[in-house]
Structure formats: structure tokens, C-alpha cells
Structure 1
Amino acid sequence: MQDTREKIVGLADHLIKTKGFNAFSYKDISDPLAIKNAAVHYYFPSKADLGQAVLDQEISTLESGINSWQALPEDQQLRHLIASFENKCNSHMVCIMGSLSPDYNTLPVNMQERLQQFSAAVIAWLTGLLENGRKKGIFSFRGDAGDRALIIVSNLLASLLLSRVIGENAFEKISKQLLDDIL
């Protein structure tokens, strides 16, 4: 049963990152998994419950990534973050923040809260990374590290969206410039 639940969450994650939360139904999950809609409802009585599970998985993935990168120098950690966005770009997806943010006002409150937590965690981690890297002389930038973290994240989010419209080279150009600006 856990396998079915994981498949549902995995497919929902993919659909959110390719179509958007409001653009898919339980039928979009049940048909490819060859299960009944009732099976999806068994695990996730509401779409908000499913969205919450996807966000919980994203938070867990973020925490695992951060933990696995901690021993690396700050510039390499930043490159890993950028590589995670590049993987999404190559898969023609956007990240969870970029996908759910346009739908934010239509999301259930529990999903809004989890998206806020996820976004805050990304910004807080990146702010600390940038400040530590600047203290060590790895990064050089003017202004507040938190402001720079917002610039980096917003540019990475936008690069995935632009890549859908003008091609993957938009991501390459933006991510290269982000690194050039602080290294």
C-alpha cells in the first residue's frame, strides 16, 4: 500500500511541476497508475491532502540535499542548488515554488502554509550559505545576504519559466550570470 501512496505522490509532484496544481485531477493520476479514483481518495481524501503530501516530500528532499552538501565549500553547495534547478529545466519542469506561487491565492490554507515554510527554509539556508561564503572570501557581493538570496532564488525560478518559452539556454545564461556576479 505504501508503494501506491508513493506513486500517487510522485505523479502528483510531476503534474504540479509540469501542469500546475489547479490543472490536474485525480483522473490524471488514476489513469496512468491503472487504479480507480477511489484509490487515490483512499490515500488522499482531498486534493489539498495530496498537495500537502507533495510539499512534505519536497521539504524532506530539500533537507536531505542540504544535509548532504554541508561538508562542501559554499560555492560548491550553491552549484548543487543550481544543478537541482538545471535538472528540472532539462526535464521541462519548474520547481515547486515556481509552480505553486501563481496559484497561491487559490491554494488551500494548509498548502499555503507549507509553501511559505518551504520557501522560507530555502531563503534562510541560502542566506546563511551566502553570508558564510562571503566571510570566507568565497563570495563577493554588495548588500545584505538575505537580499542576495532572494535575487538568486527569484532568478532561478524565473529561469525555469523563461526556459519554457525561449529555450533552455535562458537557464544556462541566467545561472552563469548569477555565479559570475558573486564569485
Structure 2
Amino acid sequence: MQDTKERIIELADRLIKTRGFNAFSYKDISDPLEIKNAAIHYYFPSKADLGIAVIEQEIEKLATNKLKWATLPEDKQLQLLFDTFNQKSKQGFVCLMGSLSPDYETLPAPMQEKVQQMSENVLEWTTLCLEHGRNRDLFHFDGEAYNRALLVISDLLASLLLSRVMGSEVFDKMSRQLLNDLL
């Protein structure tokens, strides 16, 4: 039964990253998985419950990556973050934060809170990475590390959106320029 739950979350994650949260239904999950809608409702009584599960999974992935990357120099850590976005680009996905942000005002309050938590986690990690990297002379930029983190994350989000329209080379160009500006 856990396998069914995980498959539901995985497909919902993919649908959010390709279509957006408001553009899919339980039928879009039940048909490909060859299960009944009732099976989805068993695990996730509401679509918001499913959305929260997807966000929580993304938060866990970030926590796992932070632990794996913690011993690396900050420039390598940031490169791994960029690589994660690059993989999404090659798959034709936008990141979860980038996909849920346009729908934010239409999401139920508990889901909005999870989107905020996820966004804060990403920005906090990026800020610390940039701040520590600058202290070690790995990064060079003006201003507060938090403000630079906002620019880095917004550029990465935008690069995924633009690469959908203009081709994957756009992501490569934007991310390479962004890294060059920091190093």
C-alpha cells in the first residue's frame, strides 16, 4: 500500500512541475496508475493534502541534499544546486517552488504555509552558502547574502520557465552567467 501512496505522490509531483497544481485532477493520476479515484482519496482526502505531501517530499529532498553537500566547499554546493535545476530543465520541468508560486493565491492556507516553508528553506540554505562562500573568498558579490540568494533563486526559477519556451540552451547560458557573476 505504501508503494501506491508513493506512486501517487510521484505522479502528482510530475504533474505539478509540468502543468501546475490547478491544472490536474485525481483522474489524471488514477488513469495512468490504473487505480480508482477512491484509492487516491484514501491516502489524500483532499487535493491540498496531496499537494502538501508533494511539498513535504521536496523539503525532505532539500534536507537530504544539504546533509550530503555540507562537507563540500560552498562553490561546489552551489554548483550541485544548479545541477539539480539543470536536471529539471532537461526533463521539461519547472521546480516545485516555481510551479506553485503562480497558483499561490488560489491554494488553501495549509498549502500556502508549506509553500512558504519550502521557499524559506531554499532561501535560507542559499543565503548561508553564499555568505560562507564569500567569507572564504569563493564568491564575490556586493550587498547582503540574502538579497543575492533572492536573485540566484529567482534567476534559476526564470531559467526553467524560459528554457521551456526557448530551449534547454537558455538554462545553460543563464546558469553559467549566474555562476560566473558570483565567482
TM-score range, shorter chain: over 0.9
Q: For residue 154 of structure 1, report the CA deviation from its aligned partner.
A: 0.1
Partners of 2:112 and 2:165 in 1: how far apart? 27
Structure 1 stretches of 4+ moved >4 Å: none
1:125 alignment partner AA: W
Q: How far is 1:109 from its partner?
A: 0.7
User: Counterpart in 2 of 1:6?
Assistant: 6
Taking the aligned partners of 2:48 and 2:34, their CA distance within structure 1 comes to 22
Measure the CA separation in 2 of the matches of 1:110 and 1:81.
27
1:99 matches 2:99: yes
Q: For structure 1, which runs of at least 5 residues remain unmatched after alignment?
A: none
Q: Per-residue deviation at 1:168? A: 0.7
Q: Work out the CA distance in 1 between the residues paired with 2:85 and 2:165.
A: 16
Find the aligned partners of 1:88 and 1:17 in 2 and give their Cα distance.
9
Q: What are the residue-to-residue correspondences of 1:64-143 with 2, within 5 Å?
A: 64-143=64-143
Q: How many Å apart are 1:150 and its aligned residue?
A: 0.3
Partners of 2:2 and 2:120 in 1: CA distance:
29
With normalisation by structure 2, the TM-score equals: 0.99
Q: Give the whole-Å Cα distance in 2 for the aligned partners of 1:182 and 1:57.
A: 30
Identity %: 61
Q: CA deviation at 1:124?
A: 0.6
Shift of 1:7: 0.3
Equivalent residue, structure 2, for 1:27: 27
Please state if 1:157 is matched with 2:150: no
- In structure 2, the residue matched to 1:48 is 48
Distance in 2 between the 1:182 and 1:48 partners?
38
| CA shift for structure 1 position 17 | 0.2
How many pairs align?
183
1:102-148 CA distances to partner (integer Å, 9 max, x unpaired)? Answer: 00000111110000000001101111110100010111111110000
* CA shift digits 1:74-112 (9 cap, x unpaired): 000000000000000000000001100000000111110
RMSD between superposed Cα atoms in Å? 0.5
Q: 1:44: Cα distance to partner?
A: 0.5
Whole-angstrom distance in 2 between the partners of 1:20 and 1:76: 31
